[in-house]
Chains A and B, each alone.
Chain A
Amino acid sequence: MTSALLALARRVNVLALSMILMLPTLSQAGEYLVLSGGPALRLYEADKRATHDKYWFNFIDSAQLRIHQLKPKLAAGDEITWVVFRPGYADRATEMKNDPKEMTKLDLLNEIVRKANAEGVSLLWFDSTDQLINYMNRGKDRSKVPIVGFDFFGHSNKACFLFDYSNNVDGMSTEYLHVQDLAKLNKDIFSKNAFCQSWGCHSGELYSQKWKARFGVPMVGVVGKTDYSRVRLGDLPFESSGKNNWTQ
């Protein structure tokens, strides 16, 4: 009788243990990345026909709107990390500070910290594409904390995410993630059902396809341009032709 009870207890223990071991896989916590590129300098853009980034926080306010939208929808245990290209905002803040015509003298970096704190999300600055790649690959153990979502707010063309544009060099980017560079990101950093979206221009024309081919998860992107002009009014960027031409 004693041995039968011991065997029973052993089996119950094994079952309980296996359940405990299964729990993390059933409710696996993930990380949702919201990525903000930096703004252009007005020195380089003010006289252009297609002038960019008159407003310095297009990619910050839009990201904050998205974070606000995502927070109640994430699964328990999932966390949002807001990844921001720091040099873009440092340089724009310096330009604003030194421009006698500019009335706004915000410390943009502090302002971003304040916004991240207000949303209660982790803020991760990056200064180079290599730092971003390193974080996405190894910032967390991706076998335990996969990336469950990814949103990009910034300049882009169909082949490239431009973390800076017209900021370090007029009309160009010196920190960017080209489709050719996607191979530097590990294939398995995303969860199977990860949701990814680029809110930059033209990503749906090539980047989305290359993203799916590399990671096996779709990335929503627009065919055409996105418009950030209503971000200050509380609206997310929209497809500028009005055809709502998002694809993946």
Chain B
Amino acid sequence: MILSFKFLAVATYRRVAAFILMLTAALAVLSAATTDARAQSIRDQVKPNESTILAPPPRVPIPPQGEVPTGAPAQLPAAKGGQTGRYYIGHRYYGEKEAGWGWIKNSADSWANAKWCAIKETPGVIVAPFRTLPNRWDDHNHEYKFWGRWASYTAYDPHRDEDLPVFILEGYESLGPKPELKRTPGAVRRNRPSRGSTSR
């Protein structure tokens, strides 16, 4: 009686253990299959439908572009914003492949110490002087007295793959056209692995 009960218990244990093992294995297989199916189904969506590629995209009108730069606007930008206290001198440089505004230096410094930089405008309050002119290249090689401050952050120029200091503009006064600076646009480069990126 005891022996048969013991035999029954062992048999039950084996069946339960076998059942649990089978269940575990089934769950593992199911999980792997689900993961593979998920990865595959998402991969299937990587490439757009051929029909969408073949359809030509709608044309976006391109604004008319003149010969650049002229550097000779019909009139100089009028003074704008607060013009008191310490000021800087800015030399505008326009290049279609440059996102920088130009060079800015302390009023007493030489141009050798000027920074190639970006300008932070405040829409509705003050914008860069060239926005008052017909074209953004119209003040190429113009100089300005600038009032404002250097930002605590930098801006990334995707054309040149480099970081530029940012000048927060608060006021300006035009000094008119000036001779071209003997400097090449661009910041002192950080050690970028992607140096030379011109992808935008």
Contacting residues of chain B (5-42) with chain A, CB-CB under 8 angstroms: 5-6, 9-10, 12-13, 16-17, 20, 23-24, 27-28, 30-31, 34-36, 38-39, 41-42
Q: Determine if A159 and B197 form an interchain contact, defined as CB atoms under 8 angstroms apart.
A: yes
Q: Determine if A49 and B65 form an interchain contact, defined as CB atoms under 8 angstroms apart.
A: yes
B158 within 8 A of A: yes
Instruction: Tell me which of B34, B60, B99, B136 contacts A75 (CB under 8 A).
Output: B34
Q: Determine if A178 and B53 form an interchain contact, defined as CB atoms under 8 angstroms apart.
A: no
Q: Determine if A49 and B62 form an interchain contact, defined as CB atoms under 8 angstroms apart.
A: yes
A100 within 8 A of B: no
Instruction: Tell me which of B10, B101, B199 contacts A205 (CB under 8 A).
Output: B199
Instruction: Tell me which of B9, B42, B46, B60 contacts A229 (CB under 8 A).
Output: B60
Interface size on B, as a range, is: 35 or more
Interchain pairs with CB closer than 8 A, number: 177
Interface size on A, as a range, is: 35 or more
Stretch at the interface among A5-13, A103-111, A113-121, A131-139: A5-13
Q: Determine if B46 and A246 form an interchain contact, defined as CB atoms under 8 angstroms apart.
A: yes
Instruction: Tell me which of B52, B62, B124, B158 contacts A235 (CB under 8 A).
Output: B52
Instruction: Tell me which of B23, B166, B200 contacts A157 (CB under 8 A).
Output: B200
Instruction: Tell me which of A174, A238, A239 contacts B156 (CB under 8 A).
Output: A174
Given the known interface contacts A73-B38, A179-B194, the answer about A201 and B199 at a Cβ–Cβ threshold of 8 Å is yes
Q: Determine if A244 and B48 form an interchain contact, defined as CB atoms under 8 angstroms apart.
A: yes
A-B residue pairs in contact (CB < 8 Å), sample of 21: A26-B30, A47-B63, A47-B135, A49-B62, A51-B63, A73-B45, A95-B123, A98-B123, A155-B200, A158-B197, A159-B161, A168-B155, A169-B118, A170-B118, A171-B99, A171-B157, A172-B156, A178-B192, A206-B197, A229-B57, A238-B48
A71 vs B46: C-alpha distance in the bound complex, in angstroms?
A: 15
